[in-house]
Chains A and B, each alone.
Chain A
């Protein structure tokens, strides 16, 4: 809403006798901005406001709803289950994101190098998993991971080996990382590839004249040129990791003991809200999680952009 006075001022030059005129114009400005402001407030501000409002109360089976101030926040900050979940996605972030972005970058550079046969086919098949809904992808991988009737089971039977169970507690996080990598390599590849496409060809020619080899071109020209895209992809991946939900939620049915109800912060919020009817506390955890995500994403952005 603070946006509004600006356009109004901009279109009405400060003429002393035009007071009525200014008001009319301001109203006209509201007329133009109004629909946007209304929708913006309704779909962006209201839900956040509602979550904040919810987080200040506590609804109990015995005793009903009462105002508790910041109690829910104190509870969340000392909640071992929440921190455990956060540490888990932190570990996921530290391992999975570099691998995924690394692969995506390699593929993008390979396609961009122009030395690939069937470039279009290669590109589309790597991108294709992104078009598969996460729920379907998780179900599919769930079947692959099955040690009794799944692909892993079939391999065990056929070759008489016994592969480790991908859904065992020690491996399940890595298995989820594998699914997420499969889903998002293509997406990130496309971001990098489109950034590479707009690097002026003249830079490569200049580099060639300077005697730079392929590798030198990559490190000195291509990578600096797409730094912005790298930062954006990293931020998206950080947010995605912190919001991990679909994959563990689907696989939970196959591995109910390995994937607990507080496996990721989002899953924890979900079970608090829907199994435990603790909507208020769930809202609090969601807000805390949102703030943490925003801080980390912002820090990465600052650091990434400073170098540039």
Chain B
């Protein structure tokens, strides 16, 4: 999938570590610096203790309960410290303050590089993570490891699909789009039939934008060591902006921010008709939009070229152990349980999208009927999408920051006459400036 670029990204990470602190500070596979081996993990489990987990993924609740049942001496405290950026802010804050950091943190793949380069997460290779070389699907696995260092264990993955409200589509006679041109058509049809209905919500979301550019073949970020290049002028990006600009110009996008109360309402009442989002979404539908059960269905992500099958990843997270964690062995034991074997299967059973080969290929998984989606076997669509994710994508080693200024720059396209392409140029400029300030060699 994205082996090369990820290698390069993490190459940058490793190199930065070496430059900044010397190898020992980054890799803890050396038992001398306190990183526990598999035996220590075992004895930590026997001894018991408390593990604080910062995560927003809903299926972890069950896993935490199962884990406590299996190891009665261990107490798992699950804390929702915010979703995505908000949690990273809190996490970076706690790490900088030197106290209050959790033992386990959920970190999305796009953000892991920043934490690894910032020397804030533990290398898990020495704890026994190397044993899982063949366990995970290649995309997520390559996103968490480089060479001998493994910075997290993959928890789920997010091959994209189109979730659509079938009731709304049927009522207004709209056709489920297979290409993005048809998507724009459907947006017009629905909005014309009922001005309250929008094809989707969008107030500028860095993750969604980069994922769609990824699907369109754009590769705006390249990293090689500490050399970074950013180019939002490539053909894939243009393909994306041309289509999305139409949706913006014709006011076909609901000005509702994802994960807000309005958003959940819109998903429930049909005023937001589709979502192009990662395959981890079903669990959120079931828990957050319960009242619309039966209305929604899943379809393959629309294509930029008719007949194509290109996919992209959107989100997807790993579980990492911050360097500031108090009981790293126990923390590792928990993430091992939650991401492999029984814990992973339990989460998949609740609608999480697996990053483990065994679960992804299993017949039970593929043939799972989702009552929420009217009994549809949606995992078949997700699995196809997972197999078609475009290769060679990489994120910036400081993507968290870049995403935090997305709305300052690209956001202008959503509220003024600034074209999307100009917004992306501004974003590129802000990202270059920050990277240069931080010591990277950007676009040189």
Contact = CB atoms under 8 A, between A and B. Distances in A.
Interface stretch (B44-52, B124-132, B354-362, B408-416): B408-416
B434 A276 contact: yes
Interface string A274-289: 1111110000000000
B262 A146 contact: yes
Contacts of A63: 19-20, 439
Report whether over half of chain B's contact residues are helix, strand or loop; otherwise say mixed: helix
Contact of B96 (A62, A260, A262, A279): A279
Interface stretch (B2-10, B374-382, B398-406): B398-406
Interface in B187-222: 203-204
Interface residues of B, number: 42
B439 A262 contact: no
Interface stretch (B85-93, B160-168, B287-295): B85-93
Given A62-B20, A257-B412, A277-B118, A149 B262 contact: yes
Contacts of B203: 256-257
Contacts of A254: 257, 260
Nearest to B85: A275
Interface in A232-263: 253-254, 256-258, 260-262
B439 A271 contact: no
Contacts of B20: 62-64
Contacts of A169: 415-416
Interface residues of A, number: 25
Given A169-B415, A257-B412, A61 B118 contact: yes
B323 interface: no
A60 interface: yes
Interface in B250-298: 254-257, 260-262, 265-266
Contacts of B440: 61-62
A275 B89 contact: yes
Report whether over half of chain A's contact residues are helix, strand or loop; otherwise say mixed: loop
Interface in B319-343: none
Given A257-B203, A257-B204, A275-B400, A61 B117 contact: yes
B420 interface: no
A278 B435 CA distance: 12
A256 B257 contact: yes
B421 to A, nearest CB: 17
B397 interface: yes
Nearest to A271: B404
A121 to B, nearest CB: 34
Chain A CB within 10 A, most for which of B93, B203, B398, B411 = B411
A163 to B, nearest CB: 15
A61 B438 contact: yes
Interface of A: 60-64, 146, 148-149, 168-169, 253-254, 256-258, 260-262, 271, 274-279
Given A62-B439, A275-B400, A275-B404, 11 more contacts: A61-B397, A61-B398, A63-B20, A63-B439, A254-B257, A256-B411, A257-B407, A257-B412, A261-B405, A275-B401, A277-B96
13 contacts: A61-B439, A62-B19, A62-B226, A63-B439, A146-B262, A148-B262, A253-B257, A261-B405, A271-B405, A274-B92, A277-B118, A277-B401, A279-B96
Interface of B: 16, 19-21, 85, 89, 92-93, 96, 114, 117-118, 203-204, 226, 254-257, 260-262, 265-266, 397-398, 400-401, 404-405, 407-408, 411-412, 414-416, 434, 437-440
